[in-house]
């Protein structure tokens, strides 16, 4: 290793981050990354000190999802690095561009079980797009440049760069140009294939009952305008995946709402009775298809996705187009015939009216506070303009059902991995990425307790996030499954919580408790008026369930609907 | 040994870099394939490795695996040989018990398979043979009655027939990370 050179390896890390446009990193120091922390002083990059490295990864994830930029995490070797694994898996499954930089023991100690040595590149192979072990200062810039390129390109994802302590300490010359990345180009999608486009157009032209399935890929590709143009031109309604919410406006007349396990019954019915599905940047996850054998049996299917390995993976399709969604839609649009499908849209509207009768918003007020009420009111009070970051569980589904997302990147949620503890840290990241946005955390009493130490991070960094805890005294979503499928045996799902209001105060932030719907608006107003972070605990109906629901393994149209009397449960087909 | 399910032959070109084999094996394991054999070695071009992977699986599953392999940063190209005419070769070393009473018989059999004797001991000899998977299986079966003392197979190396050169045209791009002296190749 050369001792001459313009920079130390540690400085090269910060130089590279600056040139990649990074202004904020999330991390936690330790011995093996100490040279890098030492070199950080003097660089114009904000470092957010988290309380647990898992949260650093979620913060970077929230930062990236809110902004479309690459999120960056820094951690030390051994336990610091292993604490990132859940966050990396979360980012991997939801295609978030992330770069994690970890310190590693000195290269002479590699493979000796030295203090705080773990094989983090080995451990993270399945949960990263790619990773690197860097043992020389001269390799740092090429590895980081490639890491950013890989994280951003194609289907985005997390990349880890593990850098030995001696590589951080020794010197090398900064040659940015010479380190220009190349290899990620091998995997860039090909230009859309014209035979596929022609076939897709033909299917669209002949369809009588088409539905667009709108996924997360639309936001990742920045193809919102093109999807809307296509839908409007061909008069095709769109159903959204959970991560697709916000990709196209919920209040658009062609918007049906969320599909899948907790999608509305008319949406799933439209999919089941469609004669054409046009799947855009979504991946036919089991949560949206229900039983595969019974999925949209009469529909021809067109699937456009940047990731060729998703095509024909779960659902065999008639036309599979691998490519950049924006490019494909731009090629397709001028040829799409203008159509009027008012009779199909009218049919769907009828189904919708039938379902609305069972909507909890339309049921007589029984004096209880329901989570759905909280979401609905929150939507009204924030005019649907907030960025909402949810945790995982029932509240996540209620949020998806009752908060109407019009804006892009306005719902941030762990869809693929379903990671509890995600919301608070991801919201802190989102707020740092978009300081002008109003950011709400919606979390359950269970998930919130997994990462609430990050309240202190929000306070230390002065990050104004509003926290809504939906407290039902249970690990609600699991309790719901126990109620429906395990004869009501509530094994390990009742969960005790601290006094959240006092807890907030212990962190130095205002806390409020709401038990009646009438007090909700005032509490929200106070929270919004607070100077910094604030917390509201909503004490909601304990044994409420998310309806409708497609039981795991059932066909998409075979939904359990909200019983008309809340006490009874029953099943019927939508 | 090969079961009735048809083996699928993949040729994968990768960067010659530490950890590549792990990435590929890990991907295949995660997708639940049984790897029948996997061989790897350098190619005519520096920095480029070539793997032959034989898997037992249904064709659509293999197509999926190919798409996943193609996404790996270190992978330049994946060819699925499928029904294409191809040369598939395996090498075996087999130590057969061969006392004086059966030795000439073993030697004769070896000749039938165009195998060569590469080591001779008092009670045994080592036979080397190259050929298609079927041929090697047949040789091993023929030797079994004498007593197989040790057996080592390389796994298949495969190449499509014809004039076309299959190596990827775009040259490998080296990225020197972790290629210190302690790092093993591939
Ligand atoms: C890290 C993690 N552990 C376990 C689970 C399984 N899980 C899914 S939902 C859920 C219950 C969540 O309870 P809570 O946070 O109180 O939210 P609620 O469902 O009551 O809204 C659990 C335990 C998970 N998704 N993530």
Q: Say if CB B76 and CB B13 are below 8 A apart.
A: yes
**A156 contacts in chain B (CB < 8 Å):** none
Average pLDDT over residues A522-547: 97
**Ligand 1 geometric centre to CA of A480 (Å):** 11
CA dihedral A501, A502, A503, A508 (to 10 degrees): 100
Return the minimum-mean-pLDDT range out of A189-198, A213-222, A421-430.
A189-198
Q: Are A383 and A322 contained in the same domain?
A: no
Average pLDDT over residues B101-106: 94
- Is residue A211 a part of any domain in this protein? yes
**Ligand 1 geometric centre to CA of A47 (Å):** 30
Question: According to the model, what pLDDT value does residue B84 have?
Answer: 81
Return the minimum-mean-pLDDT range out of A399-408, A442-451, A564-573, B160-169.
A564-573
Q: Are A514 and A469 contained in the same domain?
A: yes
Average pLDDT over residues A496-511: 98
Q: Is A40 a catalytic residue?
A: no
Residue-range definition of the domain harbouring residue A421: 358-547
Question: According to the model, what pLDDT value does residue B184 have?
Answer: 33
Domain boundary among B34, B63, B84: B84
Query: Which atom in ligand 1 lies closest to the alpha carbon of residue A475?
Result: 13
Domain boundary among A293, A319, A352: A352
- Is residue A288 a part of any domain in this protein? yes
Query: Which CATH number belongs to the domain containing residue A288 in this structure?
Result: 3.40.50.1220
Averaged pLDDT score across all residues of chain B: 86
Q: Are B10 and B79 contained in the same domain?
A: yes
How far is Cα of residue A454 from the mean position of the Cα atoms in its chain?
19
Question: According to the model, what pLDDT value does residue A567 have?
Answer: 41
| Span B110-158, pLDDT tens digits | 999 999 999 999 999 999 999 999 999 999 999 999 999 999 999 999 9
Query: Which CATH number belongs to the domain containing residue B91 in this structure?
Result: 3.30.70.1150
Averaged pLDDT score across all residues of chain A: 95
User: Measured between alpha carbons, how far is residue A403 from residues A9, A88, A336, A384, A442 in Å?
Assistant: 47, 28, 32, 7, 11
Ligand 1 touching residue A372 (CB < 6 A): no
Question: According to the model, what pLDDT value does residue A571 have?
Answer: 40
**Ligand 1 geometric centre to CA of A544 (Å):** 15
pLDDT grade for A362, boundaries at 50, 70 and 90: confident
Ligand 1 touching residue A559 (CB < 6 A): no
| A interface residues, B as partner, C-beta within 8 Å | 107, 110-111, 121-122, 125-126, 129-130, 132-136, 138-139, 142-143, 146, 150, 154-155, 182-184, 186-187, 307-309, 311-313
Q: Are A182 and A149 contained in the same domain?
A: yes
Measure the CA–CA gap between A416 and A312, rounded to whole angstroms: 19
Task: Determine phi and psi for B15, rounding to 5 degrees.
Answer: -65, 145
**Ligand 1 geometric centre to CA of A178 (Å):** 47
Query: Which CATH number belongs to the domain containing residue B27 in this structure?
Result: 3.30.70.260
To test the pocket of ligand 1, the residue of A83, A369, A392 to mutate (highest count of ligand atoms within 8 Å of its CB) is: A392
- Is residue B131 a part of any domain in this protein? yes
Q: Are A330 and A477 contained in the same domain?
A: no
Q: Are B106 and B151 contained in the same domain?
A: yes
Q: Are B115 and B57 contained in the same domain?
A: no
Nearest CA in chain B to A145: B175
Q: Are B111 and B73 contained in the same domain?
A: no
* pLDDT at A207 exceeding the cut of 60: yes
Measure the CA–CA gap between A219 and A248, rounded to whole angstroms: 9
Q: Is A422 a catalytic residue?
A: no
Q: Are A165 and A212 contained in the same domain?
A: no
Question: According to the model, what pLDDT value does residue B175 have?
Answer: 66
Indicate whether this model's pTM tops 0.90: yes
> How many domains does chain B contain in total?
2
Average pLDDT over residues A447-470: 98
Measure the CA–CA gap between A228 and B17, rounded to whole angstroms: 45
| Span A84-97, pLDDT tens digits | 999 999 999 999 99
Q: Are A111 and A92 contained in the same domain?
A: yes
- Is residue B172 a part of any domain in this protein? no
Residue percentage of chain A with pLDDT more than 90: 92
Q: Say if CB B17 and CB B51 are below 8 A apart.
A: no
Measure the CA–CA gap between A46 and A481, rounded to whole angstroms: 43
- Is residue A564 a part of any domain in this protein? no
Domain boundary among B56, B84, B112: B84
Please indicate if any CB of chain A lies within 8 Å of the CB of B180.
yes
DSSP helix/strand/coil, A304: strand
H helices of A1-107, where?
A: 9-19, 34-40, 53-67, 79-82, 85-93
Annotated catalytic residue: which of A115, A361, A385, A502?
A: A115
Ligand 1 touching residue A392 (CB < 6 A): yes
Question: According to the model, what pLDDT value does residue B181 have?
Answer: 33
Average pLDDT over residues A8-34: 98
Annotated catalytic residue: which of A15, A20, A138, A165?
A: A165
> How many domains does chain A contain in total?
3
Residue-range definition of the domain harbouring residue B13: 6-84
pLDDT grade for B35, boundaries at 50, 70 and 90: confident
| Span A125-150, pLDDT tens digits | 999 999 999 999 999 999 999 999 99
**Helix axis angle, B133-143 to B100-112, nearest 10°:** 160
Residue percentage of chain B with pLDDT more than 90: 62
- Is residue A501 a part of any domain in this protein? yes
Query: Which DSSP letter does residue A4 get?
Result: -
The b-or-e profile of A406-439 (16+ CB within 10 A means b, else e) is beebbbbbbbbbbbbbbbbbbbbbbbbbbeebbb
In DSSP terms, A103 is beta-bridged to A163
Q: Are B43 and B22 contained in the same domain?
A: yes
- Is residue A79 a part of any domain in this protein? yes
- Is residue B135 a part of any domain in this protein? yes
Question: According to the model, what pLDDT value does residue A562 have?
Answer: 83
* pLDDT at B178 exceeding the cut of 50: no
Q: Are B77 and B133 contained in the same domain?
A: no
- Is residue A539 a part of any domain in this protein? yes
Q: Are A208 and A176 contained in the same domain?
A: no
Measure the CA–CA gap between A142 and A509, rounded to whole angstroms: 44
CA-based nearest residue to A96, from A159, A41, A34: A159
- Is residue A569 a part of any domain in this protein? no
- Is residue B133 a part of any domain in this protein? yes
Measure the CA–CA gap between A235 and A248, rounded to whole angstroms: 15
| Span A276-328, pLDDT tens digits | 999 999 999 999 999 999 999 999 999 999 999 999 999 999 999 999 999 99
Question: According to the model, what pLDDT value does residue B5 have?
Answer: 58
Measure the CA–CA gap between A241 and A247, rounded to whole angstroms: 10
Q: Are A178 and A205 contained in the same domain?
A: no
Nearest CA in chain A to B180: A135
Residue A60, CB-side half-sphere exposure with 13 Å CA sphere: 41
Q: Are B91 and B154 contained in the same domain?
A: yes
pLDDT grade for A2, boundaries at 50, 70 and 90: low
Domain boundary among A352, A382, A407: A352
Q: Are B103 and B150 contained in the same domain?
A: yes
* pLDDT at B20 exceeding the cut of 60: yes
Q: Are A72 and A86 contained in the same domain?
A: yes
CA-based nearest residue to B34, from B58, B55, B9, B48: B55
**How close B156 gets to chain A, by Cα (Å)?**
26
Q: Are A124 and A56 contained in the same domain?
A: yes
Measure the CA–CA gap between A519 and A527, rounded to whole angstroms: 13
pLDDT grade for A76, boundaries at 50, 70 and 90: very high
In DSSP terms, B24 is beta-bridged to none
Q: Are B91 and B68 contained in the same domain?
A: no
- Is residue B112 a part of any domain in this protein? yes
Q: Are A382 and A344 contained in the same domain?
A: no
Return the minimum-mean-pLDDT range out of A136-140, A441-445, A535-539, A570-574.
A570-574
Question: According to the model, what pLDDT value does residue B170 have?
Answer: 64
User: Measured between alpha carbons, how far is residue A158 from residues A71, A362, A389 in Å?
Assistant: 9, 43, 20
Measure the CA–CA gap between A374 and A157, rounded to whole angstroms: 33
**CB atoms A307 and B173 under 8 Å:** no
Q: Are B33 and B79 contained in the same domain?
A: yes
The closest residue, in CA terms, to atom 17 on ligand 1 is: A444
User: Measured between alpha carbons, how far is residue A114 from residues A32, A102, A109, A131, A420 in Å?
Assistant: 11, 16, 6, 21, 33
Query: Which DSSP letter does residue A216 get?
Result: T
Query: Which CATH number belongs to the domain containing residue A398 in this structure?
Result: 3.40.50.970
The closest residue, in CA terms, to atom 5 on ligand 1 is: A420
Number of other residues whose CB lies within 10 A of the CB of residue A206: 11
- Is residue A164 a part of any domain in this protein? yes
- Is residue B141 a part of any domain in this protein? yes
Assembly ipTM: 0.88
* pLDDT at B174 exceeding the cut of 70: no
The b-or-e profile of B12-44 (16+ CB within 10 A means b, else e) is bbbbbbbbbbebbeebbeebebeebbbbbeeee
Identity of the residue in A132, A138, A187 whose CB atom sits nearest the CB atom of B178: A132
Strand ranges, E, within A384-435 = 387-390, 411-412
Burial group, residue B83, by CB count within 10 angstroms (0-12, 13-18, 19+): exposed
Question: According to the model, what pLDDT value does residue B1 have?
Answer: 41
Annotated catalytic residue: which of A20, A26, A40, A53?
A: A53
Ligand 1 touching residue A420 (CB < 6 A): yes
Q: Are B42 and B59 contained in the same domain?
A: yes
Question: According to the model, what pLDDT value does residue B180 have?
Answer: 36
Q: Cis link prior to A81 (omega < 30° from 0)?
A: no
Q: Is A115 a catalytic residue?
A: yes
Measure the CA–CA gap between A456 and B12, rounded to whole angstroms: 50
Q: Are A391 and A323 contained in the same domain?
A: no
Please indicate if any CB of chain A lies within 8 Å of the CB of B68.
yes
| Size (chain A), residues | 574
**Ligand 1 geometric centre to CA of A461 (Å):** 28
Strand B86-97 versus strand B148-153 pairing type: antiparallel
**CB atoms A183 and B75 under 8 Å:** no
Ligand 1 touching residue A473 (CB < 6 A): no
Strand A276-280 versus strand A300-305 pairing type: parallel
- Is residue B183 a part of any domain in this protein? no
- Is residue B182 a part of any domain in this protein? no
DSSP helix/strand/coil, A345: helix
Question: According to the model, what pLDDT value does residue B110 have?
Answer: 95
Number of other residues whose CB lies within 10 A of the CB of residue A541: 16
Q: Are B47 and B80 contained in the same domain?
A: yes
Question: According to the model, what pLDDT value does residue B3 have?
Answer: 42
Domain boundary among B84, B103, B129: B84
Ligand 1 touching residue A509 (CB < 6 A): no
**CB atoms A135 and B177 under 8 Å:** yes
Ligand 1 touching residue A475 (CB < 6 A): yes
Ligand 1 touching residue A395 (CB < 6 A): yes
Question: According to the model, what pLDDT value does residue A561 have?
Answer: 87
* pLDDT at A241 exceeding the cut of 80: yes
Ligand 1 touching residue A415 (CB < 6 A): no
Domain boundary among A297, A317, A352: A352
Question: According to the model, what pLDDT value does residue A174 have?
Answer: 96
Identity of the residue in B26, B64, B76 whose CB atom sits nearest the CB atom of A126: B26
Q: Best mutation site among A89, A120, A183 for testing chain B: the one with the most B CBs within 10 Å?
A: A183
């Amino acid at each position: 290793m050369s001792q001459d050179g313009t920079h130390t390896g540690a400085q090269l890390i910060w130089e590279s981050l600056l040139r990649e446009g990074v202004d904020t990193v999330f991390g936690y120091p330790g011995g093996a990354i100490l040279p890098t922390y030492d070199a950080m002083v003097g660089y114009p990059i904000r470092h957010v000190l988290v309380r647990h490295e898992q949260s650093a990864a979620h913060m970077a994830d929230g930062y990236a999802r809110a902004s479309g930029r690459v999120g960056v995490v820094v951690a030390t070797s051994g336990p610091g690095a292993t604490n990132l694994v859940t966050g990396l898996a979360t980012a991997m499954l939801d295609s978030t561009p992330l770069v994690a930089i970890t310190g590693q023991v000195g290269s002479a100690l590699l493979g000796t079980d030295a203090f705080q040595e773990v094989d983090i590149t080995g451990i993270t192979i399945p949960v990263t797009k790619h990773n690197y072990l860097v043992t020389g200062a001269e390799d740092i810039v090429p590895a980081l440049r490639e890491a950013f390129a890989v994280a951003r390109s194609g289907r985005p994802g997390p990349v880890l760069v593990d850098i030995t302590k001696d590589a951080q300490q020794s010197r090398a010359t900064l040659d940015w140009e010479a380190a220009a990345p190349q290899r990620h180009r091998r995997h860039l999608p090909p230009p859309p294939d014209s035979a596929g486009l022609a076939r897709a157009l033909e299917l669209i032209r002949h369809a009588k009952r088409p539905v667009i399935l709108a996924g997360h890929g639309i936001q990742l590709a920045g193809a919102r305008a093109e999807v809307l143009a296509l839908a409007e031109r061909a008069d095709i309604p769109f159903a959204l995946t959970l991560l697709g919410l916000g990709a196209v406006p919920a209040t658009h007349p062609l918007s049906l709402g969320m599909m899948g396990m907790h999608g509305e019954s008319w949406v799933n019915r439209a999919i089941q009775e469609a004669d054409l599905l046009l799947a855009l940047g979504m991946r036919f996850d089991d949560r949206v298809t229900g039983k595969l054998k019974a999925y949209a049996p009469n529909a021809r299917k067109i699937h456009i996705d940047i990731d060729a390995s998703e095509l024909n993976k779960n659902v065999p399709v008639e036309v599979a187009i691998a490519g950049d969604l924006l490019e494909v839609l731009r090629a397709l649009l001028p040829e799409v015939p203008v159509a009027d499908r008012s009779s199909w849209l009218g049919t769907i509207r009828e189904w919708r009216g039938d379902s609305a009768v069972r909507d909890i918003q339309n049921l007589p007020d029984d004096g209880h506070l329901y989570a759905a009420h909280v979401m609905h009111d929150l939507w009204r009070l924030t005019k649907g303009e907030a960025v909402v970051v949810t945790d995982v569980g029932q509240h996540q589904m209620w949020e998806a059902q009752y908060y109407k997302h019009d804006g892009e990147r306005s719902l941030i949620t762990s869809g693929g991995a379903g990671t509890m503890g995600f919301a608070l840290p991801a919201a802190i990241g989102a707020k740092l990425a978009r300081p002008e946005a109003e950011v709400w955390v919606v979390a359950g009493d269970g998930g919130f307790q997994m990462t609430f130490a990050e309240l202190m991070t929000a306070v230390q960094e002065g990050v104004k996030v509003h926290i809504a805890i939906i407290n039902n005294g249970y690990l609600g979503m699991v309790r719901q499954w126990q109620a429906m499928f395990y004869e009501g045996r509530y094994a390990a799902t009742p969960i005790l919580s601290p006094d959240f209001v006092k807890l907030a105060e212990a962190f130095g932030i205002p806390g409020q408790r709401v038990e009646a719907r009438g007090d909700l608006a005032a509490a929200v107003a106070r929270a919004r008026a607070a100077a910094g972070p604030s917390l509201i605990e909503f004490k909601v109906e304990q044994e409420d369930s998310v309806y409708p629901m497609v039981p795991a393994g059932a066909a998409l149209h075979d939904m359990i609907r909200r019983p008309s009397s809340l006490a009874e449960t029953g099943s019927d087909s939508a | 040994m090969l079961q009735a399910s048809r083996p699928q032959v993949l040729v994968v070109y990768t960067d010659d870099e530490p950890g590549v084999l792990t990435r590929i094996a890990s991907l295949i394991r995660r997708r639940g394939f049984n790897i029948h054999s996997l061989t790897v070695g350098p190619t005519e071009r520096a920095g480029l490795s070539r793997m032959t992977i034989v898997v037992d699986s249904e064709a659509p599953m293999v197509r999926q695996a190919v798409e996943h392999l193609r996404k790996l940063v270190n992978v330049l190209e994946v060819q699925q040989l499928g029904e294409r005419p191809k040369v598939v070769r395996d090498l075996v070393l087999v130590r057969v018990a061969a006392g004086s009473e059966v030795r000439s018989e073993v030697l004769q059999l070896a000749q039938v398979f165009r195998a060569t004797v590469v080591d001779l001991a008092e009670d045994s000899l080592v036979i080397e043979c190259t050929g298609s998977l079927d041929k090697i299986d047949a040789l091993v079966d023929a030797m079994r009655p004498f007593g197989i003392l040790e057996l080592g197979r390389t796994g298949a190396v495969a190449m499509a027939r014809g004039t076309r050169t299959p190596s990827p045209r775009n040259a490998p791009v080296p990225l020197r990370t972790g290629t210190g002296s302690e790092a093993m190749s591939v």
